[in-house]
Structure 1
Amino acid sequence: MTEYERSRTMPAQPEHVFDEAANVGRLDTWLPDALHVDHVDPEGLPAVTVHEDRTDEDTSALFRARRDQMRLEWGTRDQGSYAGWLQVAGIGSGGSEVTVHLSFFDEGHDPGEQAVSEALDGSLRRLEEQVRLRVGNTAG
């Protein structure tokens, strides 16, 4: 098993960050690129279907949002090749720290350290951009 993790601070309340990250209809806009996820279709949470660009196949997966813990969890269901989580924590003065973590249980699905690190950094950057847009739109 190989694990990767990245964190980023965001200038928004933890609830705002979590709500944006947990929006199932917008997961594909911030999820790590290394997952090659094209879209996510809810089938009745926690079960979801993800379409992987790399294989051009739909895969059964799970997605859980635990608002009381400010935590998201996801992963493949049938083959158990990867899992991930995102944790949001308040850091005071209206800011948040967001940590995203990926675990690859099947070496064949691990794109490698550089690719995953870049994907996680990009993922957190895109989530921050979405949060800024959301918070900016509700402030006015």
Structure 2
Amino acid sequence: MTDYERSRTMPALPEPVLDEAAGPGRLDAWMPRDLHVRAEGPPAAAVRGDGGGDGGGTDGGGTDGPALLRMEWGTRDDGRHPGWLRVAGLDGGTSRVTVHLSCPGGDSAPPPETVERQLDEGLARLEEQVRLRVDSGG
């Protein structure tokens, strides 16, 4: 497996960002379609916690750090594209979204620059969806 991770700042607090990313049927709206990532029932597992940390959800560090929200996905049968998305609150009502995706290695693996570009494009789609949600008051 090869791991990829990309981040982007979003124009909203963490909760609406995670709601937009993890809502029913929304994973397909922003994740790279060519990577065949799909949520399986239940749709994406969202784990909410407080504190900073390394993406492990609640890190036991108390509630002094920024809000940290996380969702995970993967295929149950073969685990080909497991991954997670983490949203951390920033100053000024913005958030930092980090998406992590594991892809199979070998001859069938897409080139790393393709996966990174697709993740960047997916985060840009998510940012646009969040921006539309915020602008419409939702």
5+ residue gaps, structure 1: 49-62
5+ residue gaps, structure 2: 50-56, 58-68
Range with greater deviation from structure 2 (118-127 or 22-31): 22-31
Q: CA deviation at 1:67?
A: 3.0
Aligned letter for 1:136? D
Structure with the higher helix share, 1 or 2: 1
Displaced runs of 4+ in structure 1, greater than 4 A? Answer: none
Q: CA RMSD in A?
A: 2.0
CA distance in 2, matches of 1:113, 1:34: 13
Alpha-carbon spacing, 1:109–1:136, altered in 2? closer, same or farther (3 Å): farther
Q: CA deviation at 1:31?
A: 1.1
Aligned letter for 1:65? A
CA distance in 2, matches of 1:119, 1:112: 11
Structure-1 residue corresponding to 2:65:
none
- 1:20 correspondence with 2:1: no
Q: CA deviation at 1:82?
A: 2.1
1:81 and 1:106 in contact (8 A); partners too? no
Aligned letter for 1:72? M
Aligned length: 120
- TM-score w.r.t. the length of structure 1 is 0.76
Aligned letter for 2:32? P
The percentage of aligned residue pairs carrying the same residue is: 55
Alpha-carbon spacing, 1:78–1:36, altered in 2? closer, same or farther (3 Å): closer
